[in-house]
A and B are shown apart, each in its own frame.
Chain A
Amino acid sequence: MDRRKFLGLSVSGLLTKTWLDWTNDEELIIGHGDYRYTVDVNWGALNPHFFPVKDCHEMVIDQSGRIILLTNHTRNNLLIYDRSGKLLEAWGKDYPGAHGLSLQEQGGTDFLYLTDTVRHEVIKTDLKGRVIMRLPAPVETKYYDKPEEYLPTETAIARNGDIFVADGYGKQYILHYNAMGQLLNIFGGKGTAPHQFSNAHGIAVDNRHGGEEKLLITARQQNALKVFDRQGNYQETISLPGAYICRPVIHQKQIYLATIWSGEGKANSGFISILDEHNHLVSAPGGSAPRYFDGQLQKMHQALQVFKHPHDVCIDSDENIYVAQWNSGATYPIKLTRV
C-alpha cells in the first residue's frame, strides 16, 4: 500500500469513528432480569434465489449442535445451519404445509417429526429426509369424518417414544400414539372448558421436575398454557395475558415461547416469553417487563419492533435463542445472543 492510500484510509477511519460516536449508536439489549440478549437480525440470512423461504415455522437442534429450520417453501423445506449461521444442508420438496418440527434421539440416532397441514398428516424422517413412518388423519375414529378436518400443528415425543400430536388448526384434539404409531387416546377438542382449547398450537413433554411426565399444551387464543397428564387429564392453566404463544420449548428448567402476537392480537406485535421453573414469566425480549400483582401476571404487550411474528424458538447450549418467524416477508431466523 502506498503512503497516500494509507493516509487516506486512516483519515476516513478517524472521520467515520468520530461521526459514529456522535450519532451514539449503542447496541440494543432486549429482555429482562437474568435473560437479556443482543440481536442479530441477519444471522440466518441466505440468498433467496437459491434457498428461499416462505414462513419459517419451527427449529430444532440436533446432537451435533446443528440448527434445523422448517419452512413451507417446497424448494427446500429443511435448511440446516451451524451456529454461526452458515448453511450446511438443504432438502425437502414434499411438504407444502410444513408446520411442526420436533426432534428426538432414539438409540443414538436423531429423528424428525414433521406436521403438514396440507397433507393432513405427521411424518417421521431421519436427518437426511428418509421417511420412516407416517401418521395419517385419524378418520377411522368418531372424531374426524375426513382428512381435511385434521390440521396438525405440533408433535411432542415422550421418553418412551410415545407421540403426542396437537391438531391446532383443526378440531383442537390431542392425539396420543405409541412409538409404533398405534393410536392410544384422543382428548381435548375445541371449546372454553378448562380441558378444551382455542388454537392448540403447540405441545411439549415436561419432565423438568422428575416423576411422571406432563404435557404442556398451548391454547393460543386463550393466551395460556394448559397442563395435562399423559392420560389426557387436565391439571392446571398457566395464564399469560396478552401473549399469543406458540409452542413451549423446554431448555433445562425454563420454558421459552415464541409469542406471535400480543396485546389485542394485532399484526406485527410479537415478542419472546421466558418462564422459570415455577412457570412464572421472568423475561420478555421485545416485550414489556413481566409484572405480577397479587400473583397475577399483568397483561403483556410488545415494546420494541424487533420481531414481526415469532413462530418458534430454539435454544443452544450457551442459551442463545434462534427465532423463526411466520408471515414476516420471507425473512430468515434471527439470533439472540445471551449477555
Chain B
Amino acid sequence: MIRFYQAVFFGLLLTINLHGQASVRFQLSPPQVEIDSFLFFAEAKVKMYLDYPQTIIRFTTNGQPVDSNSTIYQRPLRVSQSTNLRVKAYHPHLIASEEVGLELRQLPRAEKLMEIHSLPSPDQRYPGQGLQSLSDAKKGPVNFSKEPHSWLGWQVDTLVLFLEFEEALFLRQLSFSVLEHQPSWIFSPCKIIVSFEGTTVGSWEIGDAEQTSMVSAQFLEVPLQEQDYQKLKVTIIPAVLPPGHPGQGEVAWIFMDEIIPQIKR
C-alpha cells in the first residue's frame, strides 16, 4: 500500500513539473492611461486602455488599491478635482497587471503665479524648458530623455529656490513634482525646508524609501503655516545614494518639473 501512495505522490510531482515547464502563465501589462493634463484648472479627461482581448480594466479614484470589485472602466472619465487614480487590468486566463497609480492635480487658477530663481542654476544637461517652466502647469513624461525635455535636474549638495508671487497668496501647502529613477541616480530629495523671512514655515522629510528600478513621478507635499506669503525660500537637500547602489555615497540627482502653490480658499 505504501508503494501505491509513493507512486501517486511522485507521479503527481513529475506531471505537475512537466506541465509547469510546458505552460508558463503570463501577466498582463499595466494599462495605458492617457490624461489630457495631469495639472488642470477646470477638469481633466482620463482614458484607459490595454489592447488585449477579454481584458477588463478596473480603477479607484480615492487612492485605495484596486481589486476585483472595483469599478469597471467603460468610458473616459472627467475629473474636476484633485484625484489619486489607481488602475489595474484583469483577464480570465492571465495574471492581473501591476497597478498603475497617478495623481491629477487641480491648480488654483490659470494665470501665472510666481517667478522662480534657483541657486545654483539647473545642470546644463537638464535645463528643461527653463526655471519658469516649473510653474507652467505642464507635466513632464516619465521618459525624461524624451524631447522636448521637461525636467530640470540638479546634482548638488543643497538646492535653494526663491519663489516670488505676483501678489500675496494665502497658502496652505507647496507641492513639488519630482521624478525618481534610482538606476539613473535620480532620487526624491530627502528633505525640503520652506522659510519666510528667515523663519521656517514648513518642512518635509522622507521616510524609509524602498529600492526600486521603476521610474515614477510623484508629488511631495510640504504643508505650510497658513498665512499670506509674497516670497518664499525653499531649501532642498538631496538624497545620498544608498548602500548597494553603484554610486553609493554620492549625491543623488534632483529632477523636478513643477511647483504648485496650494491656496487656502
- Residues of chain A at the chain B interface (Cβ within 8 Å): 2, 4-9, 11-13, 15-17, 20, 24-28, 39, 41-42, 192, 198, 221, 261, 263-267, 269, 288-289, 301-306
Contacts and interface: CB of A to CB of B under 8 A. Distances in A.
A41 B24 CA distance: 8
B51 A11 contact: no
A304 B29 contact: yes
B141 interface: yes
Interface in B73-105: 93-94, 97
Contact of B51 (A192, A266, A267, A303): A303
* A contact face: mostly helix, strand, loop, or mixed: loop
Contact of A9 (B8, B26, B50, B143): B8
B12, B29, B142, B145: residue with the most chain A Cβ atoms closer than 10 Å:
B29
Given A12-B7, A265-B143, A4 B1 contact: yes
Nearest to B2: A4
Given A8-B7, A303-B50, 18 more contacts: A4-B1, A4-B4, A8-B8, A8-B11, A16-B16, A25-B19, A28-B23, A39-B26, A221-B147, A261-B143, A264-B142, A264-B146, A265-B142, A267-B215, A288-B51, A304-B26, A304-B29, A305-B26
Nearest to B1: A4
Interface in B1-53: 1, 3-12, 15-16, 19, 21-29, 32, 50-52
A25 B19 CA distance: 9
Contacts of B51: 288-289, 301, 303
A28 B26 contact: yes
Contacts, number: 107
A28 B141 CA distance: 32
Contacts of A41: 24
B7 A27 contact: no
B142 A304 contact: no
A20 B19 contact: yes
B213 interface: yes
Interface in B182-212: none
Contact of A266 (B12, B22, B143): B143
A9 B25 CA distance: 26
A192 B148 CA distance: 11
Contacts of B12: 12, 15-16
Contact of A16 (B15, B32, B214): B15
6 contacts: A15-B8, A27-B23, A42-B21, A267-B215, A288-B52, A301-B50
A13 B11 contact: yes
Nearest to A288: B51
Contact of B52 (A198, A263, A304): A304
